[in-house]
Homo-oligomer: A and B are copies of this chain.
Amino acid sequence: MRADAEQNRERILEVARAALKASSAASLQSIAKAAGVGQGTLYRHFPSREALLIAVYRHDLDELIDAVPVLLGEHAPEEALRRWFERLAAYGRIKHGVAQAVEAATRADLSGEYYEPVVKAITLLLDAGKAAGTLRADVDAEDVLQLVGFLWRTDFGADREARTRHLLSVVLDGLKA
């Protein structure tokens, strides 16, 4: 990659990180402007809003994925899944951008580089539970992603946290063998 392109990419990422921190709905237009590049340049580096989101929250995504083996080492599969869900929910609560990034990584980005890792992470959890006989055998990672889709929803009422926790428990119940 050309040196100037690399610089632009970094600058856009930096600006985007700040802008998305301020408001997770920041427009790409405004980010391009703030970074001092044209829209074309922004889109050249990040072909869609989702690609930018994923790039910005790459670190957080990695953290989520890396947490899985650790959790499985410390807890029974079902409990590990429960805790991983909780962590997902926590991200959504604190920085909504990460939740959007996970959704982006797993929804539109089917061909992208992050779909695989996320699915693999969830599959790891599911397989452990299936082996232990505590989770349904007929559920795959794709299913789980659909079931927890409510996590990416922006709305919810005031008691977002309690409601989220509650819904996750229902989903977990549904996933039990």
Contact = CB atoms under 8 A, between A and B. Distances in A.
Contact of A143 (B108, B153, B166, B173): B166
A175 interface: yes
Contacts of A153: 146, 149
Given A170-B174, A174-B170, A174-B173, A146 B150 contact: yes
B147 A170 contact: yes
Contacts of A171: 147, 170-171, 174
A34 B149 CA distance: 36
Nearest to A176: B173
Contact of A174 (B146, B150, B155, B174): B174
* Chain copies in the assembled complex: 2
A163 interface: yes
Interface in A136-177: 136, 138-139, 142-143, 146-147, 149-150, 153, 155, 163, 166-167, 170-176
Contacts of A172: 174
A130 interface: no
A166 B149 contact: no
Interface of A: 107-108, 136, 138-139, 142-143, 146-147, 149-150, 153, 155, 163, 166-167, 170-176
Contacts of A146: 150, 153, 163, 167
Given A170-B136, A171-B174, A163 B149 contact: no
A143 B107 CA distance: 22
A170 to B, nearest CB: 4
A143 B155 contact: no
Contacts of A155: 107-108
A15 to B, nearest CB: 30
